[in-house]
Structure 1
Amino acid sequence: MIRTPDQRIRVFVSSTLRELSDEREAVRSAIERLRLAPVMFELGARPHPPRDLYRSYLAQSDVFVGIYGASYGWVAPEEEVSGLEDEYNLAPREMPKLIYVKDTDSRDERLTGLISRIQADDTAAYLHFHTAADLEDQVAGDLAMLLAERFDESRATAEPELEPEAPTLIGRVPVPYTPTIGREADIDAVRTLLARGTDRVVSLVGPGGIGKSRLAIETALACGDMFPDGVYFVLLEGVLEPGLLLPTIAYYLGIRDNGEAALEERIAHALAERRVLIVLDNFEQIVDAAPVLVRLYTVAPTATFLVTSRIVLRIRGERVFEVSPLTMPAGDGPASLDRATRSAAVTLFVDRARAIDADFDVTADNAGDLADICRRLEGLPLAIELAAAKVRILSPAGIAERLERSLPLLTAAVRDLPERHRTMRATIDWSVSLLPDTQRELLEDLGVFATRFTLDAVEALGAGRSWGDDAIDALTALIDGSLVKQGEVGGRRVFSLLAMVREYALGRLKDRGDAVQVRRAHADYYRALVQRLAPGLGGDGQAEAVVRLGLELPNLRAAVRHLIYTNRLDDAGDFAWSLLIYWWISGFFAEVRVWMLELLEKQHDEPITQRTRAIAWFFALWGEMWQRPSEQVIAGLGECVRLFTESGDEDAAAMALAARATARVQFSHLDTDKAEAELREAVVTLSERGNTWAEAITEVSLGRLAWVRGATDDALAHFDRATSVAEARGDLFTTSVAGNLRARLNFQLGRIEDAEREFVHTLLLSIRLHYEEGVAYGLEGVCAVAAAHSEAWRAAALAVAAGVIRRRIGIFDVEAFTVHTPYLEILRGHDPQSVDAGQTAGADLTVAEAVQLALPEHEWDTVADILRTW
């Protein structure tokens, strides 16, 4: 792919070159005035054929601008249309098109025909112009209007408080769905702190509702140029245990935790020498984990952390930035009628009120009331938004009067909180007090959800509740009151509470004495969801199940927490075990280990079954098995085998036996005979029990063991059986793992064509699963084949691209079955210039570009759509 000059919003400019050179310069000036990127042939890479260049540029552009004068343009040999018409034909239908036709006395007949066709195209805007100066002003105005319209369209669906909408978007900074008001100076100040590079942790500190998260989002969006290796947004809102800080950071960085190395070590490796900004939002609930940040920035000195918290972290390297309220009307006078001199607090109130009443503004009649409202709410943005939502039912005078009457009483009831915390809590109290009982009780019940939830989940929660028969109308009313947010994730309508509102709702639910009952209903709903989705994890529907569970991950965490909190320990163990395949594919073993250790601590007060004890110990020992194998770990997994067996779960016992065999190999190669016997025994049992996923993955372990021992025929036989079993069930993950290992072994044995076919196949499977570790392995495999064919540039580019993925997701352990590096070194000796050039190019490839370089052309279309979001 031929990259455009930069990555801002890109405007493709189409016209004849010589005839309209002045007009092209005018359009370029208009585009750059708006800080957009002009995509123009004369700015491009000259070594590429012209048609390849504009095809590639069009594919990467966001807006099409066509300028037409008198000439139709040159028609190249063997072509039917000129480049001018070809560019218009190639512009995607969904791409906005702005067409400008210069008034002229004569025009080529074919250009007249093209313009007539454009006039009939309902996706294009069509305008005339006289001079280049006129054109510049028209283009600048039209682009500004287009961007404003697209922004307004996005406001209804973009939702910054929700987690990213799909696994591919995890960690990206959310885009605000409403304007940010009154924070320009704060954004500049925090950006200056980050630019100095002397503070490793910048903490935005202030009470709930003051706008810390919004300031962090806007600062992160403004700092992309300072952190060339990435800006990540880590939402800690539903993370309540300090031990989950590292797993959560890893999740948002895209680091898969398979247990084979310490998570902190993987994160440190992934961040090493990378200039990244990591935003940690809502840190106050796990402030005891703050020393972990010191360890991380010590081993990753080029990483910077931007933290939002209600309290100071008190760690070395921290720079505290106190987030202030919005400016309020000076003195005790009314709000300004002049927009240019209004305070930020009043401006925010007016903006949010206009979402309800488009004609709302400051008038001589309401200016005093608006000033009183903003002062009484102490300039707290969330409080002001909640008050502004009441213009649906109250006038500004009515809002001011009720706040004057209610707020002092409500703040007096929460004297144990700092001053502005009291005001925010009292404002929510006041806002909720205006709701009917059913809506108020629904809001309180919604506090059990984590981050986001669906209407199905709400309705399931409503069985036996006062609002149960009125769920849709009650939820709509809460949305209208700005207490519930809505958006769309993965094609589904979802809802969420702001962190401060969720905290309030859950507190009220506890005070009512209903928390245990509602938590039970929440856990039961997600247990039932898991029971529906889990069977698909081992076969057909695996990719869909992984995506759906990923979207539900915050509530899966909450469900486990609710089960443990309410002493349903056996249910919690069964919940965790049923998702074993998901934890493995997605890499969440460290997180599950935290839950299971908590479960084991509670067994002293609440008895558990032998099976639950075995499950908890299995997850607790998983990381130890890989990272710190010992006789104690082997013995512990042996105890899991015994407990599973005595509880009658032969299937789980066989899986624990396979894990024990793996621990033996990790601990000492002297135990390989015993390990092989245990793996073979596990395969027989798993096959008899019909657990095809575990059977196939255990066959993979037997294959790896045989390969290490030099028995390549046996290894191939095991990989063949693993692939056969996995493919029969539609298990993409194990098919990919087994196939990649088989391809590597075939490559070592000189079967290059067989290896190449399987490397490509496993690469395609990994893309479907969004399994980046598998993508890296696939790229390395195709690299080996390219190197064997003496394709020095391509092999080197793929090797570096795979290395970039490995590093970013923290896969740094030595690959025992690597095959590509020796051949690459041989090529370096024969053609060092091509290898060097390929390595330079590979470092700049996106995942999609690297995959496209690796795949045969006919395979690209099968995954192009998936890769567009990578």
Structure 2
Amino acid sequence: MTGVPPVIRTPDQRIRVFVSSTLRELAAERAAARAAIERMRLAPVMFELGARPHPPRSLYRAYLDQSDVFVGIYGASYGWVAPGEEVSGLEDEYNLAPRGMPKLVYIKASQTRDERLEQLIGRIRNDDTVAYLSFDTAAQLEEQIAQDLATLFAERFEESQRPPEPDPAASAGSLSARVPVPYTTTIGREDDIDAVRSLLVGGANRTVSLIGPGGVGKSRLAIEIARATEDLFPDGTYFVPLEGVLEPGLLLPTIAYTLGVRDNGEAALEERISRALADRRVLVVLDNFEQIVDAAPVLVRLYTVAPTATFLVTSRIVLRIRGEQVYEVRALPVPPTTGTRERAAASAACVLFVDRARAADPSFALTDENAADVTAICRALEGIPLAIELAAAKARMLTPHGIAQRLGASLPLLTAAVRDLPERHRTMRATIEWSVSLLSPDDRDLFESLGVFATRFTLDAVESLGSGRPWDGRAIDGIAALVDGSLVTQTDVGGRSVYSLLAIVREYALGRLRERGEDGALRMAHADYYTALVHRVAPGLRGSAQAEAVAELGLELPNLRAAIRHLVYTDRLDDAGDFAWSLLIYWWIVGFLAEVRVWMLELLAKEQPITPHTRAVAWFFALWGQMWQNPSEEAVAGLAECVRLFTESGDEDAAAMAVAARATARVQLPDPDLETAEAELQDAFDRLRGLGNGWAEAITEVSLGRLAWLRGGLDDALTHFDHATALAEAGGDLFTLSVAGNQTGRLLLLRGAADAAEEVFRRTLLVSVRLRFEEGVAYGLEGLCGVAALRGDAERAGTLSAAAGTIRHRIGMFDVDAFTVHTALRDRLRTAQPDLLAAGEAHGAQLTPAEAVAYALPAPDRDIAADIVAHW
């Protein structure tokens, strides 16, 4: 790094600050550190299992490798030194921090301090790469960290002699950034990557399926292929995890969610995906497809609507569809029976074992003495990567000889017990069972309990399941043991520590729960926790906490999906209906209505007794898409039945919203009755006002404005939009503020009021950015394009139009032509100033969403937007 000036990052590339401290002793100080780091708009990296026995060094290294600054906070405790270890996890983290990384250390005043911590602090004082300071209180620490980080970055800025090089992977507009980043090295797959790349060149193979047993490394190979083929797919790569998707009907909604396509019901989801992928050379990775293989024909339909898209699938079974090219993912090669060190070192399987064993025990090395045992382990595990990793994780406790002996004694018995599985499936399952058998009984029970979670989960969620379980009260220690055993992985999402199990490991855990007859109880406990979370967070969707509620629910989305599935699966159908209805605003904002429809139809198909309210909820969601895509008198009648059922159940609030939906359905009919629709919307509005539902009142006012516009009453429409904006502002409702604001701005453009329209579009653009509402961002850019066109600024109009068009294309947006205003204004300039307009369009087509927002806004608003985008 010597001689290379540091790079000053743009706001969408958040600097990561690794925080090291003991956990419980300094809980208040850790909270203060997080607050200081987030105040600086940086990303805290707080490894909650750090500073403890059995530190998983591979994770420390991964976290430190991805961090930019080290912050150490030391109190009185040195931390426990585990058997066989020389240092505590606290010192381990300090030792592993790269020498070139800036280090800020804070030492809390203490009357007594562990002798070994005093020795560590002495080392720190003599380390010329460390800045350290004493403190007394958590509040004082928070201020000091914030000041020191500001000073550090000011110094780095002064050292910077050139503008930053853009980092596409960190850009808000980079599609390849969606591909997961492996936390460990991929070993022995070079030939596979080259072979699959050759299958993807040219786009002749529409679907390439990586087929192999669980644990063979299909997902990891797909990640590496995605990164190795970025040049073949200039329009990006999307990684779609299907691990928690169990219903074939959810394939399209899940693809849409990953693409950023918002399903608001106004157009068929397949059509919106088609528009999003049209004329774009993209790779879509579909991971863990075997659970929904019945949905494979959907891919064939996508071939037609998205002819330039290519699909890379991982699955345990062949899809058997037209256009599929199968690539068998084999286990890693193992040495011959006689294992010498040289032969072992030439074997990818043995190299993988050594690499993962060294992560568990840095002193581990392949030697003449242990080569035969390492070879025996890899042969017994048939070169299956996950099995090898599970065995290597035991290197902290056992020698290779001890591992080999125990495997030799256990695997034959374990594989014999599962003769109904294919051979390599038996080996993988037996390896998991062997790994789990080494856990304490309490940790084994905890591991099996985790099977009810979706792709990721938090420590709080795990602890909520503990009531009455053997591990109740010691979840954090149990999770630590599972991380050490490579059964659980830990990552950082949105500044929070989250945990996950690989798909095959989760299957095993859930299977064990079923065998014990305990899966139902734990599914219920899981559903209860997330139901409580929804009841806590959902009220914020209607008010000033809307953006925060949307963000929090987004982080929990995999388990929200799992929870509603658990509720339906365990026949808690009324609870499932309440759960879905509580999140109506969330489903609407993020565009998840098609997925909810699948669950509600499944609920109705059970043909079990449900309350009128639950039936109304289920039919409301089922009819939502129909009223937009296939409008009919039957849909209007169905929503009228929802009104009756909601009223019968005493939910006047829901009944009023169903009245508004019925009016909207009436407007979509081939021969719409606009007068009746207006009367119904006004009735719904009056009811909602009387009930104090400000959110629904405001969104109904927007519907009244759109209806007035369709009927030619532009003054009335503007009055409705202004009123909706006032209601949304009063309630802190960002979603309706964005929708109403963009409608107001369009009417102002029609009237030629450029200055007033500009003010409205700037405000709504900022609101949409805050809500992460990409449709609103596109509308705001288009509105400001119209403003520029009114003023005759062709280049700016072209830039904003093309930037909005890129977003519109990517997320498959549709619009009612009557409400599209900027295009006519822009196209007038195509004749008057064609060269300037074309130059602007060429510029705008290259902008990321973050860059487009920065271009669109003046300096004060630009700074606010950049601050918000930094947290996307």
TM-score, with normalisation over the residues of structure 2? 0.81
- Pick which of 853-862 and 346-355 moved more: 853-862
- CA distance, structure 2, for counterparts of residue 717 and residue 322 of structure 1: 63
Is 2:438 the partner of 1:413?
A: no
Equivalent AA in structure 1 for residue 428 of structure 2? M
Is 2:267 the partner of 1:265?
A: no
Which aligned runs of 4 or more in structure 1 are off by greater than 4 angstroms?
Answer: 10-14, 55-62, 93-99, 120-123, 164-171
Report the CA distance shift for 1:328/1:841 in structure 2 as closer, same or farther (over 3 A): same
- CA distance, structure 2, for counterparts of residue 549 and residue 58 of structure 1: 24
Identity of aligned residues (%): 68
Which residue number in structure 2 is paired with residue 108 of structure 1? none
Match of 2:366 among 362, 369, 387: 362
Report the CA distance shift for 1:576/1:12 in structure 2 as closer, same or farther (over 3 A): farther
Task: Tell me the alpha carbon deviations over residues 754-808 of structure 1, each in whole angstroms, 9 at most, x when there is no partner.
Answer: 1110000000000001100000000000000000111000101111111111110
Question: Aligned with 1:229: secondary structure?
Answer: coil
Which residue number in structure 2 is paired with residue 608 of structure 1? 610
- CA distance, structure 1, for counterparts of residue 265 and residue 525 of structure 2: 32
Map 1:12-51 → 2, pairs under 5 A: none
Offset, 1:837:
1.0
Report the CA distance shift for 1:765/1:170 in structure 2 as closer, same or farther (over 3 A): farther
Offset, 1:666:
0.4
Residues 176 and 230 in structure 2, CA contact (< 8 A), matched pair in contact too: no
- CA distance, structure 1, for counterparts of residue 451 and residue 174 of structure 2: 27
Which residue number in structure 2 is paired with residue 217 of structure 1? 223
Offset, 1:815:
3.8
Equivalent AA in structure 2 for residue 300 of structure 1? A
Match of 1:292 among 288, 298, 307: 298
Find the structure with the greater CA-based Rg.
1
Report the CA distance shift for 1:191/1:480 in structure 2 as closer, same or farther (over 3 A): same
Offset, 1:751:
2.1
- CA distance, structure 2, for counterparts of residue 335 and residue 592 of structure 1: 58
Match of 2:320 among 303, 314, 317: 314
- CA distance, structure 1, for counterparts of residue 770 and residue 822 of structure 2: 24
- CA distance, structure 2, for counterparts of residue 572 and residue 834 of structure 1: 56
Question: Aligned with 2:238: secondary structure?
Answer: strand
Which residue number in structure 2 is paired with residue 808 of structure 1? 810
Residues 12 and 171 in structure 2, CA contact (< 8 A), matched pair in contact too: no
Offset, 1:814:
3.9
Residues 204 and 212 in structure 1, CA contact (< 8 A), matched pair in contact too: yes
- CA distance, structure 1, for counterparts of residue 798 and residue 339 of structure 2: 68
Match of 2:479 among 475, 480, 485: 475
- CA distance, structure 1, for counterparts of residue 202 and residue 798 of structure 2: 36
Residues 167 and 550 in structure 1, CA contact (< 8 A), matched pair in contact too: no
Report the CA distance shift for 1:578/1:677 in structure 2 as closer, same or farther (over 3 A): same
Is 2:600 the partner of 1:599?
A: no
Is 2:248 the partner of 1:246?
A: no
Question: Aligned with 2:421: secondary structure?
Answer: coil
- CA distance, structure 2, for counterparts of residue 11 and residue 680 of structure 1: 70
- CA distance, structure 2, for counterparts of residue 817 and residue 675 of structure 1: 19
Residues 242 and 287 in structure 1, CA contact (< 8 A), matched pair in contact too: yes
Offset, 1:499:
0.6
Offset, 1:94:
7.4
Which residue number in structure 1 is paired with residue 755 of structure 2? 753
Is 2:856 the partner of 1:854?
A: yes
Offset, 1:297:
1.4
Report the CA distance shift for 1:501/1:842 in structure 2 as closer, same or farther (over 3 A): same
- CA distance, structure 1, for counterparts of residue 340 and residue 456 of structure 2: 37
Equivalent AA in structure 2 for residue 182 of structure 1? G
Offset, 1:469:
2.3
Offset, 1:752:
1.9
Task: Tell me the alpha carbon deviations over residues 456-476 of structure 1, each in whole angstroms, 9 at most, x when there is no partner.
Answer: 001100011111122111111
Which residue number in structure 2 is paired with residue 49 of structure 1? none
Which residue number in structure 1 is paired with residue 783 of structure 2? 781
Offset, 1:843:
1.1
Which residue number in structure 1 is paired with residue 35 of structure 2? none
Is 2:769 the partner of 1:767?
A: yes
- CA distance, structure 2, for counterparts of residue 826 and residue 560 of structure 1: 51
Task: Tell me the alpha carbon deviations over residues 597-616 of structure 1, each in whole angstroms, 9 at most, x when there is no partner.
Answer: 000001x2x20000000000
Offset, 1:56:
11
- CA distance, structure 2, for counterparts of residue 625 and residue 461 of structure 1: 41
- CA RMSD in angstroms, aligned pairs only: 2.7
Map 1:728-743 → 2, pairs under 5 A: 728-743=730-745
Which residue number in structure 2 is paired with residue 514 of structure 1? 518
Report the CA distance shift for 1:444/1:251 in structure 2 as closer, same or farther (over 3 A): same
Residues 700 and 718 in structure 1, CA contact (< 8 A), matched pair in contact too: yes
Question: Aligned with 1:667: secondary structure?
Answer: coil
Match of 1:394 among 398, 423, 434: 398
- CA distance, structure 2, for counterparts of residue 290 and residue 260 of structure 1: 25
Task: Tell me the alpha carbon deviations over residues 38-93 of structure 1, each in whole angstroms, 9 at most, x when there is no partner.
Answer: 99xxxxxxxxxxxxxxx99999999xxxxxxxxxxxxxxxxxxxxxxxxxxxxxx9
Offset, 1:518:
0.4
Unaligned runs of 5+ in 2: 16-67, 71-97, 102-127, 132-168
Residues 447 and 503 in structure 1, CA contact (< 8 A), matched pair in contact too: yes
Which residue number in structure 2 is paired with residue 630 of structure 1? 632
Offset, 1:171:
7.2
- CA distance, structure 2, for counterparts of residue 165 and residue 397 of structure 1: 48
Equivalent AA in structure 2 for residue 369 of structure 1? D
TM-score, with normalisation over the residues of structure 1? 0.81
Equivalent AA in structure 2 for residue 333 of structure 1? T
Is 2:454 the partner of 1:453?
A: no
Offset, 1:655:
0.4
Task: Tell me the alpha carbon deviations over residues 706-750 of structure 1, each in whole angstroms, 9 at most, x when there is no partner.
Answer: 011111121111111111111111001101100110111122122
Which residue number in structure 1 is paired with residue 233 of structure 2? 227
Report the CA distance shift for 1:198/1:170 in structure 2 as closer, same or farther (over 3 A): closer
- CA distance, structure 2, for counterparts of residue 59 and residue 851 of structure 1: 12
Which residue number in structure 2 is paired with residue 680 of structure 1? 682
Is 2:507 the partner of 1:503?
A: yes
Match of 2:491 among 487, 492, 495: 487
Residues 165 and 490 in structure 1, CA contact (< 8 A), matched pair in contact too: no
Map 1:63-462 → 2, pairs under 5 A: 172-329=178-335, 331-337=336-342, 341-462=345-466
Equivalent AA in structure 2 for residue 649 of structure 1? D
Residues 12 and 61 in structure 1, CA contact (< 8 A), matched pair in contact too: no
Offset, 1:820:
1.0
- Pick which of 469-478 and 259-268 moved more: 469-478
Residues 335 and 370 in structure 1, CA contact (< 8 A), matched pair in contact too: no
Question: Aligned with 2:178: secondary structure?
Answer: coil
Offset, 1:521:
0.3
Report the CA distance shift for 1:730/1:230 in structure 2 as closer, same or farther (over 3 A): same
Residues 337 and 363 in structure 1, CA contact (< 8 A), matched pair in contact too: no
Match of 1:590 among 562, 581, 594: 594
Task: Tell me the alpha carbon deviations over residues 288-308 of structure 1, each in whole angstroms, 9 at most, x when there is no partner.
Answer: 000000000121110000000
Residues 175 and 237 in structure 2, CA contact (< 8 A), matched pair in contact too: no
Offset, 1:328:
0.6
Question: Aligned with 1:362: secondary structure?
Answer: coil
Map 1:710-725 → 2, pairs under 5 A: 710-725=712-727
Question: Aligned with 1:686: secondary structure?
Answer: helix
Equivalent AA in structure 2 for residue 753 of structure 1? D
Report the CA distance shift for 1:169/1:854 in structure 2 as closer, same or farther (over 3 A): same
Residues 335 and 342 in structure 1, CA contact (< 8 A), matched pair in contact too: no
Equivalent AA in structure 2 for residue 336 of structure 1? R
Question: Aligned with 1:450: secondary structure?
Answer: coil
Which residue number in structure 2 is paired with residue 647 of structure 1? 649
Question: Aligned with 2:325: secondary structure?
Answer: strand
Which residue number in structure 1 is paired with residue 78 of structure 2? none
Equivalent AA in structure 1 for residue 295 of structure 2? A
Report the CA distance shift for 1:215/1:869 in structure 2 as closer, same or farther (over 3 A): farther
Offset, 1:858:
2.0
Offset, 1:517:
0.4
Residues 237 and 284 in structure 2, CA contact (< 8 A), matched pair in contact too: yes
Report the CA distance shift for 1:59/1:386 in structure 2 as closer, same or farther (over 3 A): closer
Report the CA distance shift for 1:56/1:570 in structure 2 as closer, same or farther (over 3 A): closer
Equivalent AA in structure 1 for residue 804 of structure 2? A
